[in-house]
């Protein structure tokens, strides 16, 4: 349990302006709907005004323009969402592991595990692997030969890191993630597939978060690279030889096919797909469920979501998509029919 902090203490640590009782003690963050007297909620947008009116939270974080919407004790911040993130971090600090090795883990004699690291039951650390200071390897994780995990990282239970990969410092890797499996590299010969050995690695920078059951394939001959600060949600697939630029974030079930090169500070919405061998420049935002089939060279927001409708309307409209070219031809014919007549009219 976090120790309570007063609004004044919070503001002296994180900034912001306190309105109301600075000695009010806060134990935890909460939502406008469910927070109690010892919790602090935040107002993301004036749209949630009604929720603010009904809240039982002890205090609220909000933007200057929303300051007058409540009489509750409050912290006014120009940027309430990041403020709330930092406040929640303050109240819920990361737990450091107890250094040590569970009796039921398996660590190769030729592995290096920092004295301050922790390795849990059932985890396996292979020869030549290197586990950094204060890093926490969860139950049943597998760290392949010659792979390295940087300091202050946490691998939740059942993460697999194949051989010869590298993950930087302060990584968070969730359960079921698989780092460094073979890329899907096959040449066809006489109706059969010949496997191309996948001898590249996966190299992951610092401050990367990887979601549950996400997979990142190793490169074919060069490496797959995930730069610093990348955030990947659950069930994401990153193909071999990709490069994902720093501070890019992808929501659940996004997929990036092999050899794609994605810039910095990009975002991919849930279930978005980037096809293979494409380049996406910095600062591109791809909407959910959008398939990117060409390279993008201009920052901006790109979308390709097919609209849903009630089933009958969908069926009626969608049937016409297979005849769009005909429809366009007919419009062209109508336009031509008009024109000579205009002349003969003249």
| Active site residue ranges | 240
Cβ nearer to a second copy, comparing 23 with 64:
64
In the DSSP assignment, the letter for residue 98 is P
The residue from 77, 135, 224, 290 that contacts a second copy (CB under 8 A) is 290
Handedness of CA 325, 330, 333, 335 (dihedral sign): negative
Q: Which stretch binds a second copy (CB under 8 A): 10-18, 65-73, 109-117, 308-316?
A: 308-316
Q: Are 226 and 246 in contact (CB under 8 A)?
A: no
In the complex with a second copy, the residue whose CB is nearer, 73 or 80, is 80
Among 147, 153, 215, 224, binds a second copy (CB under 8 A): 215
Q: Is 51 helix (H, G, I), strand (E, B) or coil?
A: helix
Closest CA to 62 of 51, 269, 219, 108: 51
> Of these, 6, 247, 278, 295, which contacts a second copy (CB under 8 A)?
247
3-state secondary structure of 112: strand
Show the site string, 175-214: x = touches a second copy by CB under 8 A, - = not: xx-x--xx-x-xxxx-xxxxxxx-x---------x-xxx-
DSSP 6: E
Cβ proximity to a second copy: between 7 and 35 the closer is 35
Min separation Cβ 8 and a second copy, Å: 22
Pick out residues in 317-336 that bind a second copy (CB under 8 A): 317-325, 327-328, 330-331, 334-335
Of 10, 75, 117, 139, the one binding a second copy by CB under 8 A: 139
| Using rule CB under 8 A, residue 79 touches a second copy | yes
Element (H, E) at 52: helix 49-54
* Cβ-based neighbours of 188, under 8 Å, separated by 6 or more: 194
Identify residues 38-77 at the interface with a second copy (CB under 8 A): none
Give the integer Cα–Cα distance in Å for 34 and 191: 60
Position 229 contacts a second copy (CB under 8 A): yes
- The Cα 112–Cα 175 span in angstroms is 23
Q: Based on the shown chain and the rule CB under 8 A, indicate whether residue 278 belongs to the binding site for a second copy.
A: no
Segment contacting a second copy (CB under 8 A): 9-17, 19-27, 61-69, 282-290? 282-290
Binding segment for a second copy (CB under 8 A), chosen from 7-15, 17-25, 79-87, 109-117, is 79-87
Provide the CA 268 distance to its chain's centre, in angstroms.
Answer: 8
C-alpha distances in angstroms, 331 versus 325, 327, 328, 335, 338?
A: 10, 6, 5, 6, 11
């Amino acid at each position: 349990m976090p120790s309570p902090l007063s609004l004044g203490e919070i503001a002296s640590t994180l900034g912001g302006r306190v309105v109301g009782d600075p000695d009010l003690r806060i134990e935890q963050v909460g939502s406008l709907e469910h927070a109690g007297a010892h919790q602090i909620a935040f107002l993301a947008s004036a749209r949630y005004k009604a929720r603010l009116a009904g809240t039982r939270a002890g205090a609220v974080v909000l933007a200057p323009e929303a300051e007058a919407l409540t009489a509750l004790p409050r912290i006014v911040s120009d940027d309430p969402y990041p403020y709330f993130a930092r406040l929640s971090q303050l109240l819920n600090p990361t737990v450091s592991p107890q250094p040590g090795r569970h009796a039921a883990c398996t660590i190769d004699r030729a592995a290096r595990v920092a004295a301050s690291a922790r390795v849990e039951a059932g985890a396996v650390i292979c020869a030549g692997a290197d586990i950094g200071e204060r890093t926490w390897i969860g139950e049943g994780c597998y760290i392949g030969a010659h792979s390295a995990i940087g300091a202050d990282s946490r691998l939740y239970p059942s993460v697999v890191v194949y051989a010869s990969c590298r993950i930087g410092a302060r990584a968070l890797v969730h359960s079921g993630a698989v780092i460094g499996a073979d890329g899907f590299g096959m040449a066809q010969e006489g109706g059969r597939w010949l496997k191309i050995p996948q001898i590249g690695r996966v190299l992951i920078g610092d401050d990367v978060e990887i979601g549950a059951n996400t997979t990142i394939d190793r490169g074919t001959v060069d490496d797959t690279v995930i730069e610093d600060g990348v955030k990947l949600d659950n069930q994401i697939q990153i193909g071999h030889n990709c490069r994902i630029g720093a501070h890019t974030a992808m929501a659940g079930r996004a997929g990036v096919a092999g050899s794609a090169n994605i810039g910095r500070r990009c975002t991919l919405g849930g279930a978005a797909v980037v096809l293979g061998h494409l380049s996406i420049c910095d600062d591109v935002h791809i909407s959910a469920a959008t398939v990117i089939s060409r390279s993008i060279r201009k920052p901006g927001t790109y979308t390709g979501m097919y609209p849903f409708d009630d089933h009958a309307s969908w069926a009626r409209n969608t049937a016409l998509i297979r005849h769009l070219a005909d429809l366009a031809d007919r419009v062209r014919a109508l336009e031509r029919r008009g024109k000579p007549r205009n002349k003969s009219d003249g």
